[in-house]
Amino acid sequence: MEVDKMIEENTALMRPHWPLCDEVSEAEQVQFIDISDKEVDVMDNPDELICQIIGEALKQVLISARDDGVFKSLPKQARCEMSVENIEGYFGWPRYKDRGCENLA
């Protein structure tokens, strides 16, 4: 198996298209709870808001796992970087200029 394909298959969090925009009437509200325990009405801009909430949660999971030593025994390069991004561009961490600051594994 090609390394690129193996990486893609093992690191991508695949999700179906969020159907809530199509299935929920404009009169209804859909709220997510973000990592700061704040309720966010995502119906104003569902794609962007949902991706932001999930992206921030995944970022925090990675940082916490690193800080708790989860990756310590794994073989990795000195500058092994963690990242989270949405293909459509609604979320990306870290910003390119901030690579290597808080995202090293």
User: Residue with structure tokens 């509200």?
Assistant: 29
* Per-residue model confidence as pLDDT tens digits over 32-91: 899 999 999 888 888 899 899 999 999 999 999 999 999 999 999 989 999 999 888 899
What backbone phi and psi angles, to 5 degrees, belong to 41? -75, 110
- Cβ contact 49:42 at 8 Å: yes
pTM for the complete prediction?
A: 0.74
Cα(13)–Cα(29) distance, integer angstroms:
26
Buried b (16+ CB within 10 A) or exposed e, 40-70: bebbeebeebbbbbbbbebbeebeeebeeee
